[in-house]
Amino acid sequence: MTEYDAIIVGTGQAGPSLARRLAAKGNRVAIIERALFGGTCINTGCTPTKALVASAYAAHIVRRASEYGVTVDGTVTIDMKQVKARKDAIVAASRNGVEASLRRTTNVTTIQAHASFVSPHQVTIGNEILHAPRIFINVGARPAIPPIPGLDTVPFLTSSTILDLDHIPEHLIVIGGSYVGLEFAQIYRRFGSAVTVIEASPRLVGREDPEISDNVRQILQAEGIQIRLNAKTTRVSPGINVSIDHPEEPGAIIGSHLLLAVGRRPNTDDLGLDKAGVAVDAKGYIKVDDTLRTSVDGIWAMGECNGRGAFTHTAYNDFEIVAANLLDGGSRGVHDRITAYSLFIDPPLGRVGMNEAEAVAAGHKVLVGSLPMASVSRAYEKGETLGLMKIMVDGETKQILGAAILGTGGDEVVHSILDLMYTKAPYTILQQVVHIHPTVAEFIPSLLLNMKSV
């Protein structure tokens, strides 16, 4: 049995950073990765998908060149093999960087193998047992496969395997009208595929306010993406024949490729967590407290596998919480975190804090300000006027409750609101800020000057 001061299982956003911090304090650390270094973000999430989004955006702009007075001779074509090669090169550089950094870090032993618990503080890798008083689980999650009848009779893609495509589908059918599915829907529509999105709920991205969801739908439909709402997939048959139950238009949709984008499941089912006594919920997510401790003393869970956040930035914040409390005498917790994320269609959605429905349900005296992006001069000048800006504040405390910016630069602009929310300062401060003109952010004070009670 080999002794360490700490063992980290998984190399997503939290694990490597924690390994370096622990090692810098003189701890002997073993970090174990069974597959690809860097976790979901680098290999099958943010990095490859945003590389594809960039290629799709380039194609979209070239097709619109004449709107800007630019003449492009010839037909716009997509070299999907080159698109994939570009994406793969970006991913490889990031993945190799993570591995190389770990292997050259003093006091860190990097192991590529599958780890499984045999007791609360022992894990096995092959025939070897490793022991440490502190163990950190950072194993992430993977695409969920829904129990659709007939699915075993057809080839299908997930958000991971679709990244291996080096050709353009003739007709891509996407089951799932939420964040991941919609990004791929727009990517492949811009690459030239016919695309149909099937969503069982009444609207897309159901966690958003209705007007945000409706604007997202309009944006995608304007590009020729077919969207079927209130459509439950009942069966899949060979030939990519997808049968749907729809109140008005039941029947079948026939495509060339099928993408399943209906959620994710944690990579916790083969870790031997029962042998360690680590509690999980009904979906397999590891139960943690506000400081990310599991049900077993000396074991923490970070990143997507703990069910407290499904994003790269929340996983990294998990590392910050654990490191601050263990190494810096801090008292940080998940409760300090403000919800923030983006939907990376074009134009993107930047979201922070509560939506309007959540704010009302929480009992706040809600004031709402909104503005169509068509009224934003910078968006008008860029020829990118789709979407809207929306902000919610508490009429009594004057604090910002949340915001949604769906439009050009929305994923960046929303941070000016998020930053103020962390200070807990009144929204009136933003009313007095002098922003640069012409920018999207300069219209945030305008939102705050024209608010209405809900």
In this structure, are residues 48 and 87 in contact, taking their beta carbons and an 8 Å threshold? yes
Which residue, 91, 135, 94, is CA-closest to 117? 135
Triad 354, 357, 360: Cα angle to 5°: 90
- Contacts for 445 with CB less than 8 Å, ≥ 6 apart: 430, 431, 432, 433, 435
Please state, in angstroms and rounded to a whole number, the distance separating the CA atoms of residues 189 and 187. Answer: 6
Cα gap 288→265, rounded to integer Å:
17
Whole-angstrom Cα distance, residue 308 to residue 306?
6
What does the block give as tokens for 385?
């006027």
121 is catalytic: no
| Residue corresponding to tokens 């099937």 | 198
- Buried b / exposed e over 163-185, threshold 16 CB at 10 Å, is bebeebbebbbbbbbbbbbbbbb
Helix/strand/coil for 72: coil
As a whole number of angstroms, the distance between CA 16 and CA 21 comes to: 9
Vertex 175 angle, CA 196 and 178, to 5°: 95
From the list 16, 57, 70, the residue with the least C-alpha distance to 39 is 16
Per the CB < 8 A criterion, the answer to whether 260 and 254 are in contact is no
299 three-state secondary structure? strand
Q: Can you tell me the distance from the alpha carbon of 203 to that of 220, in angstroms, rounded to the nearest whole number?
A: 13
Active-site residue, selected from the candidate residues 131, 167, 335, 437: 437
> How far from 281 is each of 265, 291, 334, CA to CA, in Å?
12, 17, 18
Residues facing 259 on adjacent strands: 157, 174
CB-count burial class (<10 Å; 0-12, 13-18, 19+) for 202 = exposed
Residue positions annotated with a catalytic role: 437
